[in-house]
Amino acid sequence: MERIPILQMGEFLLVTIQVELSDQVALTLQDDLTERIRTTGARGVLIDISALELVDSFIGRMIANIAGMARILDARTVVVGMQPAVAITLVELGLTLTGVHTALNPDRGMQYLRAALAEEVHGHGRLG
């Protein structure tokens, strides 16, 4: 069965969705990603959806859910490279992905993750 690969890069996990996301694949990704965050102790997740050209309400909600789950597992999540058509569709569907950070491209997304992590570490240092 088709699976979305999850790559580890240091403290971050990289998910690039290169195929049309079917409901089953999305559900598998949800399981895989949460499992990988737990096993690797990743602090950040970057989801690249620049190849995604079509979304429906289910996939839209899945993206929001995956981001939400990662956050609960203490990993910052950033969704990058959303296509204009996808953004318009999600807005029309009323899914504004509240609480999910977005960035224009993987580079900017990585910058955000690093900055967020540095801030966290800095914050901890001050506390201790």
Partner 1 sequence: MSKARTTTASILKSHEKELVADWQKELASAGSASDVRIGERALHAQMSEFIGLLRDAAQHGDLVDVDRTAWQPMRQFLQEVSRSRVAQGFTSEQTALFIFSFKKPLFVRLRKELGDDPETLAAETWAATQLLDRMALLAMRSYQQSREEVIVRQQEEMLELSTPVVKLWDGVLGLPMIGTLDSARTQVVMETLLQRIVETGAEIAIIDITGVPTVDTQVAQHLLKTVAAIRLMGADCIISGVRPQIAQTIVHLGVDLHDVTTKATLADALALALQRSGWTVERSSGQTR
Give contact residues for partner 1 (rule: CB under 8 A). 79-84, 86-88, 90-92, 96-97, 102-105, 108-109
> What's the angle, vertex CA 95, arms to CA 3 and CA 98, rounded to 5?
95
Nearer to partner 1, 4 or 100 (CB): 100
Judged by beta carbon, residue 30 or residue 89, the one nearer partner 1 is: 89
Q: Specify the residue, 28 or 71, whose C-beta has the smaller distance to partner 1.
A: 71
In the complex, minimum distance from the CB of residue 92 to partner 1, in angstroms, rounded to a whole number: 8
Angle at 69 between CA 125 and CA 51, to 5 degrees: 105
Q: How far is the CB of 3 from partner 1 (least distance, A)?
A: 26
The enclosing H or E element of 57 equals helix 57-72
Residue 36: how many other CB atoms lie within 10 Å:
19
